[in-house]
């Protein structure tokens, strides 16, 4: 088994066969992910096994965003400007039911944080990774990896990329 990340390719990846246990996440990959890419709204990165490259193990959809300084925890506001901060938003993140509890969610999240750091180094400013968790269980997943709740909502979390 050799896992790799690639951008979603509708002609290659089996979007209709993806099931993760959350209907909205299944519907997104099947119906909206490629359209969002075409429109420049978000890109969807899929985790696949080279031995079965059409089967999507998991995916993460990301887009640029911004976050008001006041939404950060007080200790994260220091030395930052008072205007909206550049962010990378995780719009969706899901792992196929058959592949859950094997660390693939952590792998996807690590990949997205690495992408954010790479963008920050060479292409565009970004100081936080932002996510709107679907529910408390999803929020707990993100908090376990250092995401912090915004001042606005316990389900909107951010991960500071450091300074």
Position 163 confidence tier, pLDDT thresholds 50, 70, 90: low
- In the 3-class helix/strand/coil scheme, how is 118-155 assigned residue by residue? HHHHHCCCCCEEEEECCCHHHHHHHHCCCCEECCCCCC
Q: Among the listed ranges 16-20, 45-49, 94-98, 150-154, which one has the minimum average pLDDT value?
A: 150-154
Percent of the chain exceeding pLDDT 70 equals 99
**How many whole angstroms separate alpha carbon 73 and alpha carbon 114?**
23
Per-residue model confidence (pLDDT) at position 53: 95
Instruction: Please give the CATH architecture assigned to the domain spanning 3-160.
Output: 3-Layer(aba) Sandwich (3.40)
Q: What does the pLDDT look like over 74-125, one tens digit per residue?
A: 989 988 888 899 999 999 999 999 999 999 999 999 999 999 999 999 999 9
Closest to 120 in 3D by CA, of 76, 86, 89: 86
Whether the pLDDT of residue 1 is over 80: the answer is no
Q: Which of 32, 59, 111, 142 is catalytic?
A: 142
Q: What does the pLDDT look like over 21-49, one tens digit per residue?
A: 999 999 999 999 999 999 999 999 999 99
Please say if 159 is a catalytic residue. no
**How many whole angstroms separate alpha carbon 44 and alpha carbon 60?**
6
**How many whole angstroms separate alpha carbon 105 and alpha carbon 94?**
7
Whether the pLDDT of residue 63 is over 70: the answer is yes
Position 151 confidence tier, pLDDT thresholds 50, 70, 90: confident
Percent of the chain exceeding pLDDT 90 equals 88
């Amino acid at each position: 088994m050799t896992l790799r990340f690639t951008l979603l390719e509708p002609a290659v990846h089996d979007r209709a066969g993806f099931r993760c246990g959350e209907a909205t996440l299944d519907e997104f990959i099947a119906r909206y992910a490629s359209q969002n890419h075409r429109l420049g709204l978000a890109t969807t990165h899929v985790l696949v096994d080279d031995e079965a490259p059409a089967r999507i193990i998991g995916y993460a959809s990301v887009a640029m965003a911004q976050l008001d300084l006041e939404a950060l925890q007080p200790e994260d506001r220091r030395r930052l400007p008072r205007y909206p901060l550049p962010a990378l938003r995780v719009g969706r993140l899901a792992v196929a039911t058959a592949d859950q509890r094997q660390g693939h969610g952590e792998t996807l999240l690590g990949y997205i944080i690495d992408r954010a750091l790479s963008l920050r180094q060479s292409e565009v400013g970004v100081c936080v990774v932002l996510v709107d968790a679907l529910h408390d269980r999803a929020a707990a997943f993100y908090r376990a990896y250092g995401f912090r709740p915004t001042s606005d909502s316990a389900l909107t979390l951010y991960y500071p990329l450091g300074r």
